[in-house]
Amino acid sequence: MSSVIQESPLSVETRATDITTSVVGPMTAKPGLLWFMAFALAVAAFGIGAISVIHQLIHGIGILGINNTVGWGVYITDFVFWIGIGHAGTLISAILFLFRQKWRTSINRAAEAMTVFAVMCAGLFPLLHIGRNWYAYWLIPYPNKRDLWVNFNSPLLWDVFAVTTYATTSMIFWYVGLIPDLATARDHSKNFFRKIVFGVLSLGWKGTGKAWVHYERAYAQFAWLATPLVLSVHSIVSFDFAVSNLPGWHTTIFPPYFVAGAVFSGFGMVITLLVVARSTMKLEKLITMDHLDLCNKVILATSLIVSLAYLTEIFIAWYSGSMLERYAFLNRAIGPYAWAYWTMMFCNCVAPQIFWFRSMRRNILIMFIVSIFVNIGMWFERFNIFVISLHQDFLPANWNYYEPTFFDWATTIGSFGMFFILFLLFCKVLPVIAIAEIKSVLPDPAGNRSKKNNDGGNH
């Protein structure tokens, strides 16, 4: 643990003012060719998704692959996948904040942005999946003519509350974190239009001591609220399955297993995004190899937790003595969806083991490839849980094979397009690094190196 609880991995030479220039600089510069190419790709992907969604709004969800037996397919997989991606951002911004992990300051802003955008993508899927999308507001308890209320006994409704609360809280947390940095951007941009926009967004932040007292209290408060919230959200998502009595879903291990999986997949996405953002935005000095190394350690640790959960599930299925439980798990490994099961096993349990080696944890290409594996593996984990448990139900006459159609994939690709459009725009127009936070953990912010460094820290 000693290397995890280390001081900030930033070099002594970095001064506070260097941070301002290196973060605000790229915001005003013209984006490079790489950025435009990525953006064009994201827009194209989003376009495919948009066409698919419009087609679905006209023709109904019959165009999707779901059938009577398998009622939850790619859409619900995408929903849980995106919610899971969001979790790493909250872990970095809230939980690591409470544990006083100073290294989080370099990556927390980007990770929080990832959370907000991922939750937006996630929220889209249940809304699309309900079929008659224009009645989506029926999910909210509101006084109506028939005096009917929503069913609070249903985990699906718990989800509505959990996801909306999560979306709201993460957006507020992210925005509050941005306020002092937007003020910095306001004072350091030359463009009149930018000054006005940042002036409005930074809510007149001047950095007076009394304002900082309240700000710091509020920020800590959000961390305290977001920590139990993030754990509750994926627990509640797992209740959608665990509370039913379908073999493969009906297990008490689901809440912790889903939360660990969410952090695992989220850090996979963090690495994917940071590797790209760091090289295209030239932030190598602020997002150092040490940061990536630490993220990779988290991936390794959560991969082990997830692997343990897989093995526990299999053991309990055997140990329960229940024929149906045993069949459900055997069917995963050797049934018609064995290809998906073993893809998941390889991506989630085997591939991250390469991070036991320090040189591999610090190799950009390797970590990028592994992070893609993690993303794919965690997508398939949800696909396996939902589809394999459903496709052969209690009556063999109902057994069916689920095949996603073009529209399932198109909407999925569209959600990635939307996510990357938002993330790329964020990289371009907002401070990608938490400027004020990172300055407060610099070893020598004023640049007078004659002073002794690290004189006992902050106590």
Partner 1 sequence: MPNNEKFVAGFTNCPDKFLELGEHARAKGFKDIDCIMPYPVHGFDEAYGFKGSWIGLAAFAALLTGWVAGFLMQCWMHSIAYPINIGGKPHISWPAFIPVTFECGILLAALTTLGSLVVAAKLKPSPFLKTIRERCTDDLFSIIIPVNSDEDISFAQAFLKEEHIEETEVYSSKILEMNQCGLEGKCC
In the complex, the residues that contact partner 1 under the rule CB under 8 A are: 15-17, 20, 141, 147-153, 155, 157-158, 161-162, 164-165, 168-169, 172-173, 176, 179-180, 183-184, 186-188, 195-196, 199-201, 203-218, 221-222, 225, 228-229, 232, 236, 239, 435-437, 439-440, 445-446, 448, 451, 458
Least separation, in Å, of the C-beta of 172 and partner 1? 5
* Cβ nearer to partner 1, comparing 138 with 315: 138
* Cβ nearer to partner 1, comparing 9 with 141: 141
Inter-CA distances, 143 with 125, 153, 335, 366, 379, Å: 26, 19, 48, 55, 38
Residue 377 and residue 349: Cα distance in Å, rounded? Answer: 9
Least separation, in Å, of the C-beta of 195 and partner 1? 8
Least separation, in Å, of the C-beta of 431 and partner 1? 11
Least separation, in Å, of the C-beta of 199 and partner 1? 4
Q: In 3-state terms, what secondary structure has residue 2?
A: coil
* Cβ nearer to partner 1, comparing 20 with 343: 20
Inter-CA distances, 244 with 69, 155, 252, 398, Å: 15, 9, 11, 19
* Cβ nearer to partner 1, comparing 56 with 184: 184
The answer to whether residues 343 and 376 touch, using CB atoms and an 8 Å cutoff, is: yes
Least separation, in Å, of the C-beta of 8 and partner 1? 13
Among 254, 261, 378, 251, smallest CA distance to 317 is for 251
Least separation, in Å, of the C-beta of 223 and partner 1? 11
Least separation, in Å, of the C-beta of 454 and partner 1? 13
* Cβ nearer to partner 1, comparing 182 with 418: 182
Angle at 252 between CA 250 and CA 253, to 5 degrees: 110
Which residues have C-beta within 8 Å of that of residue 446, sequence separation ≥ 6? 15, 16
What number of residues does the chain have?
A: 459
Least separation, in Å, of the C-beta of 121 and partner 1? 20
Residue 361 and residue 3: Cα distance in Å, rounded? Answer: 14
Phi and psi, residue 61, nearest 5°:
-80, 5
The answer to whether residues 107 and 232 touch, using CB atoms and an 8 Å cutoff, is: no
Q: At what angle do helices 74-90 and 364-383 cross, to 10 degrees?
A: 130
Among 430, 432, 416, smallest CA distance to 120 is for 416
* Cβ nearer to partner 1, comparing 30 with 451: 451
* Cβ nearer to partner 1, comparing 201 with 246: 201
* Cβ nearer to partner 1, comparing 6 with 221: 221
Inter-CA distances, 373 with 74, 411, 419, Å: 18, 21, 19
